[in-house]
């Protein structure tokens, strides 16, 4: 499944020709990814950095004459981006001098290009931490309307277990450690939006727990039930159910036994984990033990497309996340 899924991602991204900015140009993996993007003409890359990066791009197999290179301190759009940052953060005490210093950081300047519409999305995290990537996005871009929680998804291309290969959404696996019921509903809502734009099928949301439809009780189960109720109020047209043990959410025969009245049991394609421990452990188990391709973490809930990378990302991983970013945009 992973090969057709990834081929489809690249084909759809190529048709859009989005402008995606890469601020971590000092990392060889990023430059190799940009070279691959150029070779396949997948999108229009923008690099943030010094002119010295261009021969390094050529050495990585890219075309330095066919890439846009911007430098934060000499770019004519800097005053516009600085004004936007001050508008968003001055009430938090940010001064003009501090804003100028912040925008010397390529990551923040890159998100400023996205926020002002000069780029369609940003990909970072090969070097910077998830916290850095999210902070820059929140300062310059902010959450989408109706969303107060920034979270993440992994798209897991798994081997056949319901008759054919599938891509499942696992959320949240990278950002929110202990979400409350409202945050879980936010995470599920954002995951539906992300899946619709990237996968394009009908979302079926399962809120996971150690209980299935009342088989156990406790504060954690109550929190998941409340999250489901909040989600149904916000997105009444989307199939969603819970609380589910993961086997009841995924396996038709078990779903029929444990929750026979549910339209989601055994058919879920979006798995909402109750906390970050469960989500992070779950995606890595499926990736490592089952050989699933894990695409992400994909940030969700932002007003514009900005995505994080694993700091262990390969050039191919960076290309895949860039293509997802193009589709989100």
pLDDT of residue 291: 87
pLDDT of residue 145: 86
User: 134 near 155, Cβ under 8 Å?
Assistant: no
- Looking at the domain 151-293, which fold is it? Rossmann fold (3.40.50)
pLDDT of residue 303: 93
User: 185 near 225, Cβ under 8 Å?
Assistant: no
pLDDT of residue 2: 63
Q: Kindly report, as residue ranges, where domains of CATH 3.40.50.10950 are found in the chain.
A: 2-142+303-328
pLDDT of residue 7: 86
> Class of 2-142+303-328 per CATH?
alpha beta
Sheet containing 239-244: give its strands across. Answer: 239-244, 204-208, 270-272, 166-171, 151-158, 293-300
CA distance readout (Å), 39 to 29, 62, 321: 15, 7, 17
Residue 208 DSSP SS3: strand
Instruction: Tell which phi-psi region holds residue 285, choosing left (phi > 0), alpha (psi between -120 and 50) or beta.
Output: alpha
> pTM of the prediction?
0.87
pLDDT of residue 54: 97
Tokens 């599938």 found at: 166
Q: What is the pLDDT along the chain (329 residues), one digit of tens a residue?
A: 467 888 888 999 999 999 999 999 999 999 999 999 999 999 999 999 999 999 999 999 999 999 999 999 899 999 999 999 999 998 899 999 999 999 999 999 999 999 999 999 999 999 999 899 999 999 999 998 888 899 999 999 998 888 888 999 999 998 999 999 999 999 999 999 999 988 989 999 999 999 999 999 999 999 999 999 999 999 999 999 999 999 999 999 999 999 999 999 999 999 999 999 999 999 999 999 988 888 888 999 899 999 999 888 899 999 999 999 999 98
pLDDT of residue 260: 95
CA pair distance 23, 6, nearest whole angstrom? 24
Q: Kindly report, as residue ranges, where domains of CATH 3.40.50.10750 are found in the chain.
A: 151-293
User: 315 near 329, Cβ under 8 Å?
Assistant: no
């Amino acid at each position: 499944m992973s090969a057709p899924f990834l081929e489809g991602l690249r084909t759809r991204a190529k048709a859009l020709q989005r402008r995606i900015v890469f601020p971590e140009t000092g990392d060889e993996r990023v430059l190799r990814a940009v070279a691959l993007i150029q070779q396949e003409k997948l999108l229009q890359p923008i690099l943030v950095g010094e002119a010295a990066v261009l021969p390094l791009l050529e050495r990585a197999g890219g075309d330095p004459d066919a890439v846009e290179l911007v430098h934060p301190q000499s770019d004519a759009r800097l005053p516009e981006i600085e004004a936007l940052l001050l508008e968003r953060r001055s009430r938090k005490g940010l001064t003009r001098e501090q804003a100028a210093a912040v925008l010397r950081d390529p990551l923040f300047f890159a998100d400023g290009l996205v926020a002002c519409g000069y780029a369609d999305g940003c990909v970072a995290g090969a070097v910077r931490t998830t916290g850095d990537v999210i902070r820059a996005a929140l300062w310059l871009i902010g959450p989408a309307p109706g969303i107060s929680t920034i979270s993440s998804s992994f798209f897991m291309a798994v081997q056949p277990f319901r008759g054919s290969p599938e891509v499942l959404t696992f959320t949240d696996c990278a950002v929110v450690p202990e979400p409350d019921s409202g945050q879980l509903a936010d995470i599920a809502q954002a995951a539906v939006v992300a899946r619709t734009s990237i996968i394009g099928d009908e979302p079926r949301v399962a809120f996971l727990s150690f209980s299935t439809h009342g088989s156990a009780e406790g504060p954690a189960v109550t929190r998941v039930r409340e999250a489901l109720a909040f989600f149904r109020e916000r997105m009444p047209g989307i199939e969603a159910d819970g609380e589910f043990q993961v086997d009841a959410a995924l396996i038709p025969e078990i779903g029929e036994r444990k929750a026979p009245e549910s339209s989601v049991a055994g058919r879920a394609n979006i798995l909402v984990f109750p906390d970050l421990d469960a989500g992070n452990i779950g995606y890595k188990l499926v990736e490592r033990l089952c050989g699933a391709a894990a695409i992400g973490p994909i940030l969700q809930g932002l007003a514009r497309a900005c995505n994080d990378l694993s700091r262990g990302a390969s050039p191919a991983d960076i290309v895949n996340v860039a293509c997802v970013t193009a589709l989100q945009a």
